[in-house]
Amino acid sequence: MKRFTTLAAAFLLLFSSARADEGMWLLHMLQRINEAGMQKAGLRLSAQDIYDINNASLKDAIVRLNGGSCTAEVISSQGLVLTNHHCAYGAIQSFSAPEHDYLTDGFWAKAKDQEMHIEDFFVSFLVRIDDVTERVLSKVNDDMPEGERGAAVAAELDAIQKEYMEANPAYSYDMKTMYYGNEFYVFTYQDYSDVRLVAAPPESVGKYGGDTDNWMWPRHTGDFSMVRIYADADN
């Protein structure tokens, strides 16, 4: 019994010192909410290194594909982008044919003129996040029925989006509701639609293990593909 009590006490002592830094934060909140804690845990970047609307920061290297179906990373000054195999699966499939089965055999462009333009595929860079909570909440009050409140919020978000689009039509805008409808944000993106397939492994490598292995660790999958962003002075 004494041995059991000692073990139980050791168990409780071990887990009483465990930390649970749970949660997710919007990029522009890092400095205010969690920068010090992250740096204490070993982060060498500042919050400004991660998100800065006026200077180059990590946000400029992380992009979203096709409106948010996937994320990806810019890995060269020549617009090369690394993402998962399944994120370009449809593109690889669209280029495949009996005489060149890229899904089965993989694809690798050895020069830029071999890269293939992907139809209906675009890459978006986050430009900035704006908090419009105060403006949206000014249109509602605590006495409103839920349906009326929702309609008022939606109408104001539509109005804000229209203003942003009229002020700068070169960008796209996502209106985001956060924290159970208590905060509202405008995410401004710059989109690039000339995207070309650069490389993809054979399906047997890029999709090895299928959906079963996708949720296992460690993974043994060559889960990658590469595309390149093309742009000119007008984009």
77-90: pLDDT as tens digits:
999 999 999 999 99
Phi-psi region of 95 (alpha: psi -120 to 50; beta: other; left: phi over 0): alpha
> What is the pLDDT, as a whole number, of residue 156?
98
> What is the pLDDT, as a whole number, of residue 22?
61
In a domain, 63, yes or no: no
In a domain, 164, yes or no: yes
Query: 107 with 201, same domain?
Result: yes
> What is the pLDDT, as a whole number, of residue 59?
93
In a domain, 91, yes or no: yes
> What is the pLDDT, as a whole number, of residue 21?
58
Q: How far is CA 118 from CA 89, 101, 211, in A?
A: 11, 16, 25
Query: 172 with 79, same domain?
Result: no
In a domain, 81, yes or no: yes
Q: Using an 8 Å Cβ cutoff, are 165 and 91 in contact?
A: no
Query: 128 with 188, same domain?
Result: yes
Structural domain that includes position 98: 75-117+197-230
Query: 105 with 145, same domain?
Result: no
> What is the pLDDT, as a whole number, of residue 170?
95
Query: 84 with 188, same domain?
Result: no
Report the predicted TM-score, pTM, of the whole model to 2 decimal places.
0.84
> What is the pLDDT, as a whole number, of residue 30?
84
Low-confidence ranges of the chain (pLDDT < 50): 4-18, 20
Read off the amino acid at residue 121: F
DSSP symbols for 176-226: EEETTTTEEEEEEEEEE-EEEEEEE--HHHHTTTHHHHHT-SS------EE
Count: domains in the chain: 2
In a domain, 80, yes or no: yes
Query: 215 with 168, same domain?
Result: no
